[in-house]
Structure 1
């Protein structure tokens, strides 16, 4: 067993990385510049904390692998479980997808409760410390290998391995230059996603007892929304627009919900009791840093989570990707080249899904490739068919929950169902 690992950032990615590393290292130290709350509460360092957070079924499973019993602990504190197809409403490409048992269990939980419980579990692991209010200003290195980190106060913390899980604000590209290495090339897609969220008191009769409602955007209506049931009898409703978003005023929030391609969210916000005012957020770009393509990278340093790839948050895949990447730290080979190749395979699927969908929108910079256009046209027909074929809906959810690759929607069995479905009979949901 190696001696000491340092994780930069007490984000979900950082905490799950620590959960994996504690099985390999005698000591693991997680350092975060933020003040970490003693109780479950929103914190400054998580700008999206007050907005809807999707924990995909795959992400929940992997978190339970890294922290056994986590899901049961969250449910005991009020988190809600339900089938992602049978207890949910999915509207995509203007079509309401058919219901049925999917075998995929959603875990609906607020970000403060999830992060707080993960932090409690990680902090209790043998040899693990989670330290707040520690700002890292640079890396320590010797003979081309990273040997620790330097704090703003001047303290030096030696380490056999440093894992950067500092999110979008990661300084590793700059630190690499200090070490004489090239920074990674970046792929950027300007999405200009603007969204606002508001909480409401939840009643059993809301959405006829469903726990989740997702209304996706279309090229003609680049607006979307989601409602998630949360602990303490609450809803969180997030409304989003590309290049324009819901204003913060309560009346404007409801008016924006009325412009989506299905009326579900508008009806909910008009009939539920609001709790607090709307909160807004802006994500200008989706970014992928191609660490796996670097010819040289110092040993003793790895990068994970949003510091590697931050996809469009509207798709709710970030925490699941972070969990899948953290699991790669269990692999015996923690050399940078091997690790970055493994997590590149993790990132490829959500990046392909989100960028392909975003580039179909007229508000997004960049043009879709011929392959993307062909796949987009097929997906329109797929969703129309899924409006009256529960098996197609299940297959779609398995892809968006990162169980199956997007190519699964093009399998012979799926193609036959789409082509024989009489998709032209599917009626778009009225606006």
Structure 2
């Protein structure tokens, strides 16, 4: 089958590699005209991706995606390890409060890779384009779809060129123009829903200068926590690199200066859990501070029983986006890619039945994570908004498991910790955490004596004071 993938970032490259391995021919259309770095070192030092706004920020490569790479794209997995990517199993670093932690067979799946996004994408691109069935065309902007006999048969580029294919994939990410393409072609457009994540991120990259980690690693792949008005998470990268991302409410005026290096550093130093990592002599910054806002939990998932375009499928962020704080983007994109690969093997005819099957598989895969992200973001944003306003946060009803209560209980109950980890790593459905009678009982029992001690973060007053002090010092200078 001849396939066109519109978008040459992680989802498009992974789709190209996986489909080529299944015997298909794939042309990747990349809007960006600039040539990618020619070496891994150049990519690692900062690969500018203006068409991929999230590329400059921290990434978690969770268990579902890591295991798929290992099992179904093993050459990519091995090359990532050769590029300095670290391997982590979360069960090797359970909360110390759990005491004698006994591993279970399911823990073997709690794998993660620690690597910068730029290194990950460069390795994936090199391996994808090494396949005989994959080619790429850069500087190619799609302006519309070509149709015939009631189905999509190709794409139309900005210069008027028409390219034909048996199947067109939208791998262009959260900024996709697919609704416009479909509407112009007279094809059904899936209903779009969107709700703000109510968070803005600030990220900076560092190189560790010490032989051992200069601070605790309470998350296996890094360190961090969520406090009453912000979140701060450190992500280990390839080699001796790491990144730190701070998240705050978009309308938190006191935190607007986090885009300035002095204020960003001050906020980290005010967070005891992470302060040691940026102490003089322990690390050096290797990037500016990057900011990213305007994030939504959104869906363009089609109704399997409704009217569907034939020969055109969206993958990953092009059809569903969730708050990147949960680190599921790459894992879910890879899972979505292999849903398509397996569907094409079982149902190779491009027709209405195939479209319905893929729409059903897409909804089954992605909708639960969208719902969880929306619920968690509402709770977290409500907590932060109340704190910023000097009000008392509203507590969840008794007997209801939320992400916050589950995480708190996970420091006292190994089975709750395991289930939280499995859900965070996209290995089991969110319902297995939030709507499971045994887990609900365990959470209630673990928290009956009160919540556990909170991770060492900054109070709202301390955080504001630190950021104001850094800003004032900069203005004085």
Which TM-score bucket, shorter chain as reference?
A: 0.7 to 0.9
1:69-123 per-position Cα deviation (integer Å, ceiling 9, x unaligned):
3222211110011222434779xxxxx8889554312100111111111111111
Aligned length in residues: 413
Distance in 2 between residues matched to 1:251 and 1:13, nearest whole Å: 35
Distance in 2 between residues matched to 1:52 and 1:209, nearest whole Å: 16
Distance in 2 between residues matched to 1:273 and 1:82, nearest whole Å: 24
More helix by share: 2
Q: 1:107 to 1:231 in 2, by over 3 A?
A: same
Q: CA deviation at 1:212?
A: 3.0
SS at structure 2 position matched to 1:357: helix
Verify: 1:302 aligned to 2:304, yes or no: no
SS at structure 2 position matched to 1:173: helix
Q: Which residue of structure 2 aligns with residue 368 of structure 1?
A: none
Which protein shows a greater Rg? Answer: 2
Q: Which residue of structure 1 aligns with residue 67 of structure 2?
A: 61
Alpha carbons 2:75, 2:127 under 8 Å: kept: no
1:321-368 per-position Cα deviation (integer Å, ceiling 9, x unaligned):
10010001121236222111101111022212211101112268xxxx
Q: Which residue of structure 1 aligns with residue 453 of structure 2?
A: 427
Higher relative contact order (CA 8 A, sep 6+): 1
Give ranges in structure 1 of 5+ residues lacking alignment. 91-95, 365-371
Alignment RMSD (CA, Å): 2.7
SS at structure 2 position matched to 1:168: coil
Alpha carbons 1:97, 1:393 under 8 Å: kept: no
Q: Which residue of structure 1 aligns with residue 15 of structure 2?
A: 17
Alpha carbons 1:99, 1:393 under 8 Å: kept: no
Distance in 2 between residues matched to 1:215 and 1:402, nearest whole Å: 19
Q: 1:403 to 1:26 in 2, by over 3 A?
A: closer
Alpha carbons 1:5, 1:25 under 8 Å: kept: no
Alpha carbons 1:199, 1:237 under 8 Å: kept: yes
SS at structure 2 position matched to 1:10: coil
Structure 2 residue corresponding to 1:196, chosen from 193, 199, 202: 202
SS at structure 2 position matched to 1:345: helix
Distance in 1 between residues matched to 2:125 and 2:323, nearest whole Å: 25
Q: CA deviation at 1:240?
A: 1.1
SS at structure 2 position matched to 1:206: coil
SS at structure 1 position matched to 2:55: coil
Verify: 1:355 aligned to 2:366, yes or no: no
Alpha carbons 1:63, 1:70 under 8 Å: kept: yes
Q: CA deviation at 1:216?
A: 4.0
Distance in 2 between residues matched to 1:6 and 1:99, nearest whole Å: 52
Q: Which residue of structure 2 aligns with residue 388 of structure 1?
A: 412
More strand by share: 1
* Comparing 249-258 and 110-119, the one that deviates more: 249-258
Distance in 2 between residues matched to 1:124 and 1:395, nearest whole Å: 39
SS at structure 2 position matched to 1:184: coil
1:169-207 per-position Cα deviation (integer Å, ceiling 9, x unaligned):
212111111222332211111123211111122231322
Structure 1 residue corresponding to 2:215, chosen from 207, 212, 230: 207
Q: Which residue of structure 1 aligns with residue 295 of structure 2?
A: 284
Q: 1:143 to 1:378 in 2, by over 3 A?
A: closer
SS at structure 2 position matched to 1:48: helix
